[in-house]
Amino acid sequence: MDLILIVIAVLVVLALAGGLWLYVGRRQGDLPEDLSAHKPTSIEDLFPQEGQEGQAAEEVGEREEPGAEPEARPAATTATLESPESIPGRMQRLRARLAGAGGFGKAVLSVLSRGDLTEADWEEIEDTLLTSDLGIEVTTQLMEELRTQAKVLDTSDPQAIRAVLRSELLALVDPDLDRSVNLERPAAAEGAEIAGTPAAAILMVGVNGTGKTTTCGKLARVLVAQDKSVVMGAADTFRAAAAEQLSTWGQRVGVEVVRSEREGADPASVAFDAVRTAAEQEADAVVVDTAGRLQNKAGLMDELGKIKRVMEKVAPVGEVLLVLDATTGQNGMRQAQVFAEAVGITGIVLTKLDGTAKGGIVVTVQKELGVPVKLVGLGEGADDLAPFDPEGFVDALLG
Ligand SMILES: Nc1nc2c(ncn2[C@@H]2O[C@H](COP(=O)(O)OP(=O)(O)O)[C@@H](O)[C@H]2O)c(=O)[nH]1
Ligand SMILES: [Mg+2]
């Protein structure tokens, strides 16, 4: 009897020890088993690889220490050539973040589910659409369509009206627009006195603080991950901290940054140096960051116009991306218009969509500026830039 008890006790101890060992083993494993249950906020969460630690977590905010680095520094020694998060993964995150920020769909659907809608219910829906920055014109159009369909369809079926709202929103966002970033290498400008082959040039413009520098870094990272060689140009020469910030991104994503050591240097000449360097190196793309001072329209036109003209002495600029902060709503729209008039823009990057329920701005901005939203910023991390996908976006809005 005692012997049996002893054997049972030994077995229990062994079983416990085995369980503990398994548990510890899993805790120390490289990857969490279920990434979806993991909060994917940074690159380490999704791609735990060497060469990332420390750098990725580093604050890439504006820093005041003077840039002691020489211009045209070589790429960081620890080039991070790992591929970033997959596009479906990013879109899933976009959905989650938009939903987290309270896409307007939930509010609209909760009204719709009340069944027979009173005038007050309809007004509530209208208010929700308006506060999401869809704008008066678009909201009025949507409301008319919803009311008509509500009469045609059974109003007690919110899912049917939701489907109408979805298809109307999708039509407004326009899934047929070409949203690809132009990476075609241009032919050299006539009489261009440069060595090598011009790279596809991307010029980043927009108001201060919208996320231009961050987007340059994130975009460079995406390109590098696609095996493209990239050069960045720090043509925001207004503050030394701006060039420093871009250089930090350059180190982080393994891309050379052409900059001037002198605060207040001519931004156009830095931009020219960048495109020339890219051509000499036979790089695939050159991404040029600019300042966003909005002192007055004439000054802005002068500065951006000159930067672009000077770059085009080497080759045509294929992409001028206007960076717009989604949280600034209609205010941001007015500023965007000034930029659009100052320099012909070819696409929009809508940043900080992670922190706002005002996703309706996508519709408004495309309508007002007549160019597509091509990329969206979903956070401050290196992988928080996604191509804009209309269907995913509308689904995210509807929650
Ligand atoms: N939440 C969030 N923050 C962003 C995003 N893009 C940029 N930022 C932050 O916005 C601030 C201004 O960005 P910056 O690139 O310096 O703007 P710039 O003045 O236009 O160059 C920084 O703190 C960035 O980290 C985004 O998509 N989401
Ligand atoms: Mg900047």
Q: If pLDDT is split at 50, 70 and 90, which confidence band does 268 have?
A: very high
What does the pLDDT average to over 265-289?
A: 97
By CB atoms closer than 10 A (0-12, 13-18, 19+), residue 18 is: exposed
The 10s digit of each residue's pLDDT in 160-214 is 878 888 999 999 999 999 999 999 999 999 988 889 999 999 999 999 999 999 9
Question: Alpha-carbon distance 96 to 21, whole Å?
Answer: 35
What residue type is 355 in one-letter code? G
The token pair at 238 is 């207004």
75 has a pLDDT exceeding 90:
no
**244 and 136, same structural domain?**
no
Q: Quick one: pLDDT band at residue 4, thresholds 50, 70, 90?
A: low
291 or 84, which is more confident: 291
Residues 159 and 190 in one domain: no
Contact 84, 217 (CB under 8 A): no
- Asked whether residue 342 carries a pLDDT value surpassing 80, the answer given is yes
Sorted by sequence, the CB contacts under 8 Å of residue 103 that are 6+ apart come out as: 357, 359, 396, 397, 398, 399
Output the CA 66–ligand 1 centroid distance in Å. Answer: 21
For residues 194 and 163, membership in a common domain is answered with no
Does residue 278 form part of some domain?
yes
- Single-letter residue type at 323: V
Q: Is the pLDDT of residue 39 over 70?
A: no
Above pLDDT 90, what percent of the chain?
41
Q: Measured between alpha carbons, how far is 247 from 258 in angstroms, rounded to an integer?
A: 9
CA 266–ligand 2 middle distance (angstroms): 16
Mean pLDDT, residues 91-106: 63
- pLDDT tens figures, 377-388: 989 988 899 899
Please check if 353 is assigned to a binding site.
yes
Segment of 12-16, 43-47, 289-293 carrying the highest mean pLDDT: 289-293
Point out the domain boundary residue: 173, 191, 226.
173
Q: The CATH number of the domain where 365 resides is what?
A: 3.40.50.300
> How remote is the CA of residue 39 from the centroid of ligand 2, in Å?
28
By most ligand atoms within 8 Å of CB, the mutation choice from 42, 214, 321, 335 for ligand 1 is: 214
Backbone angles phi, psi at 318, to 5 degrees: -80, -20
Q: Give the residue, 58 or 283, on which the prediction is more confident.
A: 283
Residue 385, burial from CB neighbour count under 10 angstroms (0-12, 13-18, 19+): buried
Chain-centroid distance, C-alpha 233: 19
Residue 238: the pLDDT is: 87
Domain assignment of residue 188, yes or no: yes
What is the model's pLDDT at position 91? Answer: 61
Asked whether residue 75 is domain-assigned, the answer is: no
Q: How many CB atoms lie within 10 A of CB 312?
A: 17
For residue 65, what are the contacts with CB-CB under 8 A and spacing of at least 6?
244
What is the CATH classification number for the domain harbouring 110? Answer: 1.20.120.140
- The pLDDT of residue 76: 39
Supply the pLDDT for residue 310. Answer: 96
Measured CA to CA, the distance from residue 46 to residue 332 in angstroms comes to 33
In a domain, 65, yes or no: no
Task: Output b/e per residue, 33-66; b: 16+ Cβ within 10 A.
Answer: eeeeeeebbbbbbbbeeeebeebbeeebeeeeee
Comparing 193 with 25, the larger pLDDT belongs to 193
- Taking the CA of 291 as reference, the closest ligand is 2
218 ligand 1 Cβ < 6 A? no
352 C-beta closer than 6 A to ligand 1? yes
Residue 63 clears pLDDT 90, i.e. is over it: no
- The verdict on the CB of residue 377 being under 6 Å from ligand 1 is yes
Is 70 within the bounds of a domain?
no
Q: 90 C-alpha to center of ligand 2: Å?
A: 24
- Whether 104 and 238 map to the same domain: the answer is no
Q: Which tens digit of pLDDT belongs to each residue from 289-313?
A: 999 877 677 888 889 999 999 999 9
From 152, 173, 194, the end of a domain falls on 173
**Confidence class for position 32, pLDDT limits 50, 70, 90:** very low
Q: What percent of the chain has pLDDT over 70?
A: 73
Half-sphere exposure of 88 (CA within 13 A, CB side): 1
Helix intervals (H) in the chain? 2-27, 43-46, 87-100, 104-112, 119-131, 136-152, 158-173, 212-225, 240-253, 267-280, 297-311, 329-342, 361-369, 390-398
Give the DSSP letter string of 343-374: S---EEEEE-GGG-S-TTHHHHHHHHH-S-EE
* Mean residue pLDDT across the chain: 77
What was the pLDDT predicted at 234? 97
Q: Assign 270 a pLDDT band (cuts: 50, 70, 90).
A: very high
- pTM assigned to the model: 0.77
Domain shared by 148 and 253, yes or no: no
Atom of ligand 1 nearest to the CA of 210: 20
Number of domains into which the chain is organized: 2
Q: Are residues 157 and 210 in the same domain?
A: no
Specify whether 191 is located in the same domain as 167.
Answer: no
230 & 257 share domain = yes
Q: What is the pLDDT of residue 257?
A: 98
215 known ligand binder: no
Strand partners, 376: 350, 386
217 lines ligand 1 (CB under 6 A): no
Q: Pick the residue with more confidence: 259 or 364? A: 259
**Residue 59 pLDDT > 50:** no
pLDDT of 65 above 50: no
The verdict on residue 85 lying in a domain is no
314 and 226 in a common domain: yes
- Residue showing tokens 């160019």: 371
Q: Which atom of ligand 1 lies at the shortest distance from residue 377's CA?
A: 27
Would you place residue 155 in the very low, low, confident or very high pLDDT band (cuts 50, 70, 90)? Answer: low
Q: What is the pLDDT of residue 25?
A: 31
**Phi/psi at 232 (5° precision):** -115, 150
Structure tokens at 380: 């401050």
Q: Is the pLDDT of residue 81 over 60?
A: no
What's phi and psi for 186, nearest 5 deg?
-80, 160
Is residue 163 located within the same domain as residue 273? no
What average pLDDT score do residues 335-346 get?
89
What count of Cα atoms within 13 Å lies in the side-chain half-sphere of residue 263?
A: 11
pLDDT confidence of residue 31: 28
Kindly state whether residues 337 and 268 are assigned to the same domain: yes
Among residues 173, 202, 223, the one where a domain terminates is 173
Does residue 132 belong to any structural domain of this protein? yes
Q: What is the pLDDT of residue 55?
A: 34
Q: Is 381 in the pocket of ligand 1 (CB under 6 A)?
A: no
**Do 110 and 198 have their domain in common?**
no
Phi, psi of 366 (to 5 degrees): -65, -40
Q: What's the domain range around 261?
A: 182-390
Query: For 5-14, 33-42, 81-90, which range has the lowest pLDDT when averaged over its residues?
Result: 33-42
Average pLDDT over residues 73-87: 47
Task: Provide the CA 186 distance to its chain's centre, in angstroms.
Answer: 25
Determine, yes or no, domain membership for 255. yes
